Structure 1
Amino acid sequence: MRFALSILVLCASLTACATYRPSPLPASPPLRETLAQLRHNLPDGGEISTAGPLALRDVAALAVLNDPDLIAARAQHDVSSAELLSAGLPPDPAINAGFAALLGGPASMSSISAGFMQDVGALITYRANRAAAKAGLAQVDAGILWQEWQVASQSEQLAVTLAADAAATASLHADVTVLADVNNATQTQIVQHNLTLNDAAASMAALAVAQSALNAAQQTEAHDRDQLDALLGLEPGTEIPLALPEATPPVPDAIAPALATLPQRRPDLIALRYGYAQADARLRAAILSQFLPVSVGASYGRDTSGVLSAGPQMSLTLPLFNRNRGGIAAAQATRAALSAQYAAALANAEGGARALYANILLLGSQAEIARHQADQAAVMAQSARTAFAEGQISATALANLQSTAGERERAAIGLDAQLQSSEISLATLLGLGLPPLAAAPKDLSP
């Protein structure tokens, strides 16, 4: 009866064991062909409309929802959750049994023995290991949040760059059109023997330079579009309609308060704090492990003469020689390294934000001057085209003025894009607009 009951208990315990199920890899890349096929439902129940031009915030949200690398990073949360589950589970007990058949001698029966042992060392390090696992999970979540914000920032910057690419390409198209007309008119005058080949050299050279720049600009635009498509999980070459706002310089009074609260808001810094909390908990666990393993249990036996015996058992490691000194030293060094890493990251974050803000002020001034010069050059180029049509200036003069106007226009476009990209970067460095985390490292509890 006892044997049958033991078999029943063993079978019941085995039914709770995990079983293997295959999970094949995807056979094709999960890229979408249109914006409408992307995930566009927000966690708060909202929905991103992909019917018209996308604002920067819509581009960022779509990137966070659909970036393949982010989707892969979020799977790391389940790994850390499993580690937290493992930290809260006690080790399985061990049983042993023995049987010795009586082959001869004065004894009257075979001997049997049985024992049960449970490692209780996990109880000693439970709180420390649990705190370490919770900090590790929180660190992963904070790291994923920071990666999401970086992807959002990168997508916004690519959208700004792509808009600047389109504006630069349009400017070069306009230059090529005007310079081609000038070159054609010059060629006509040469055929009519009103001009010489020397007169055509300037217009031909200017057209060649503009056409080469247009080809390069089109390649750059296609490359930047492919990068944004990759962030959104789209097929390369997919067109993305954009509606971009004007640049909005940061308010100086907001810089200092943002820097003061940076460690409590920026996910990468918070992730480092969780990493330090995990290292600190692991150091406590390493110190407690000086006495491990510790096991308790019971034994039962019957010898060949029929004498029965039973009693408790315990094993304990005496910390005389090893004392887990290597593990403790490694844990202390890890904690110290993370402390230094956090201090360096905090210094880099503040220094980088201040330097970027100073650069934004410089870019703002340069962009304003460049736009004024571009407007002046555009007026002069328009007047030159009119004068050329009336035969008042040469093709060389018009080609030079048109090329200069185009270069200044594209310089202004580039500075505007740099300014807006820098403002996006500053918002990222300062952690502005980031959603708060559920708990700070000090709130961790086993």
Structure 2
Amino acid sequence: MKRVLLPALAVLSGCATYHPAPLPDAAPATKPLTTALPLTLTKLAALAVKRDPELVAARAQAGIAQAELLAAGTLPDPSLSIGVEALLSGPASMSAVAGSLVEDVSPIITRSVDVSAAKAHLLQVNAGILWQEWQVATRAELLGVALTGEAAQLTSLNRDVQALTALDQEVRAQTAAGNLTQQDVSATQTTLATLRTTLDAEEQAQVQGEAQLDALLALPSGTPVALASPDVPAIPAARRQMAIATLARRRPDLLALRYGYTEADEKLRAAIRRQFLPISLGAQGGRDTSGVVSVGPQITLSLPLFNRNRPAIKADEATRAALRAQYTASLDEARNGAEELGQSIVLLQRQTAQAGHAAAREAAIAANASHAFAAGRLDARAETNLIIAAGEREREVIQLRTQLQTAEISLAMLLGIGLPAEEEVAHQPAE
């Protein structure tokens, strides 16, 4: 008995045991930023990838895929059956004993394709996580560009409000002295009220953007994050075309679709092999009540006469065809989107340059007009219009520059510029 129990206990000692993992009752405390401020776009993107709560949950999916790969490569345990029939009466002289040892060899037949499918699934999960990280990094950069643009807009608006407030005070004083009319006061005050309304709306937009950035960085709402002036390099046309040509081998979402197609293809191979499964091999034997001992092989298999696993084969064929169509559509959409965005960037570059020249002229005119008004050679309404015109041209440049930087960042995301090649993705485990 000891000879039987000791090996059994040794085997059972290697089995897994249960350990509880209760859910927390409250969200974990957020970690403060420890990096130097102000943040560049690159540092901001890196922090977002590291701290975004949704990415933390997404990376846990890689563990599930790794477990599925382990399951695909692990053979099932053999089945042992032992029976004893006690002799109660009759001419026989002993109890009967029977036993069998059976191994399901079906997983051996499909093991290679099952492992290939599981590996492709793991690569698909890793590529999907990398694409989520890339999108989070891009979102952080876009928020950084938007917030710095809004800050520049607020600076411009506040400067115009200060200029018009000083002008309004001067107009009131001149009107009280009888040098100007009430119409001059009304024109300045109306323009100032409109400008303050625009300023309020811009401040609200900035608060919303800051809240979004705090959430992305897993910071308490209202945490200030200082941002450096964004530096977004332009993507040369030659590099853009080269990136478009190699898009299918670099963009993680397209790689994920390719790996998904490979997984479906391997599952179809497995379904075809399972036409003849399950198959079990083993041995059985025993001793009857008369003392006769016998032993022999045992085989169990399915005959592919009716079902032949056709429903599963058809389903896997349809899945593979659907993934192929989805991949083709996504690749075309990515290429067309990059081409359209490249054309928009060319237009924005020209418009930004033109608006910059116009803003410089308006600023020079407004500066000269300020001296003319102080000397009494220009009325208050004209001075008000020139201040607003110069400010609007300046804010137009800020808006166009923000749109251009947004387009450049979006194009880099669409083209996967800065991402590793497919071979690197295949060997890069999820964090």
Q: Which residue matches 1:175?
A: 160
Aligned-residue offset at 1:284: 0.5
Aligned-residue offset at 1:382: 2.3
Query: How far apart, CA to CA, are the structure 2 residues paired with 1:411 and 1:23?
Result: 55
The answer to whether the 8 A contact 2:148-2:230 is kept is no
Q: Which residue matches 2:238?
A: 253
> Does 1:381 find its partner at 2:379?
no
1:167 is paired with a residue of what secondary structure? helix
Aligned-residue offset at 1:167: 0.1
Aligned-residue offset at 1:355: 0.5
Which residue identity lines up with residue 85 of structure 2 in the other structure? A
How high is the sequence identity, in percent, across the aligned residues? 50
Q: Which residue matches 1:408?
A: 393
Q: Which residue matches 1:86?
A: 71
2:361 is paired with a residue of what secondary structure? helix
Q: 2:204 aligns with which of 207, 211, 219?
A: 219
Aligned-residue offset at 1:427: 1.4
Q: TM-score, normalised by structure 1?
A: 0.90
Query: How far apart, CA to CA, are the structure 2 residues paired with 1:439 and 1:326?
Result: 37
Q: Which residue matches 1:41?
A: none
2:97 is paired with a residue of what secondary structure? strand
Query: How far apart, CA to CA, are the structure 2 residues paired with 1:368 and 1:9?
Result: 82
Query: How far apart, CA to CA, are the structure 2 residues paired with 1:235 and 1:436?
Result: 36
Q: 1:262 aligns with which of 242, 247, 259?
A: 247
Which deviates more from structure 2 when the two are superposed, residues 193-202 or residues 215-224? 193-202
Q: 2:310 aligns with which of 325, 342, 345?
A: 325
1:304 is paired with a residue of what secondary structure? coil
Query: How far apart, CA to CA, are the structure 2 residues paired with 1:181 and 1:244?
Result: 30
Query: How far apart, CA to CA, are the structure 2 residues paired with 1:6 and 1:386?
Result: 107
Gaps of at least 5 residues in structure 2 are: 427-431
Q: 2:54 aligns with which of 69, 86, 107?
A: 69
Aligned-residue offset at 1:439: 5.9
Q: Which residue matches 2:276?
A: 291
1:91 is paired with a residue of what secondary structure? coil
Which residue identity lines up with residue 86 of structure 2 in the other structure? A
Q: Which residue matches 1:11?
A: 9
Q: Which residue matches 2:297?
A: 312
Aligned-residue offset at 1:285: 0.5
The answer to whether the 8 A contact 2:257-2:323 is kept is yes
The answer to whether the 8 A contact 2:171-2:180 is kept is yes
Q: Which residue matches 1:45?
A: none
Which residue identity lines up with residue 90 of structure 1 in the other structure? L
Which deviates more from structure 2 when the two are superposed, residues 134-143 or residues 354-363? 134-143
Q: Which residue matches 1:418?
A: 403
Gaps of at least 5 residues in structure 1 are: 37-49, 442-446
Q: Which residue matches 2:27?
A: 28
The answer to whether the 8 A contact 1:229-1:236 is kept is yes
Which deviates more from structure 2 when the two are superposed, residues 185-194 or residues 78-87? 185-194
1:309 is paired with a residue of what secondary structure? strand
Which deviates more from structure 2 when the two are superposed, residues 379-388 or residues 330-339? 379-388
Query: How far apart, CA to CA, are the structure 1 residues paired with 2:393 and 2:286?
Result: 97
Which deviates more from structure 2 when the two are superposed, residues 259-268 or residues 106-115? 106-115
Query: How far apart, CA to CA, are the structure 1 residues paired with 2:110 and 2:162?
Result: 76
Q: 1:229 aligns with which of 214, 218, 230?
A: 214
> Does 1:275 find its partner at 2:260?
yes
1:104 is paired with a residue of what secondary structure? coil
Which deviates more from structure 2 when the two are superposed, residues 364-373 or residues 186-195? 186-195
The answer to whether the 8 A contact 1:30-1:233 is kept is no
- After superposition, the C-alpha distances for 1:55-109 in whole angstroms (9 at most, x for unaligned) are 2222222222222222222221111111111111001111222233333333333
Aligned-residue offset at 1:190: 4.4
Q: TM-score, normalised by structure 2?
A: 0.93
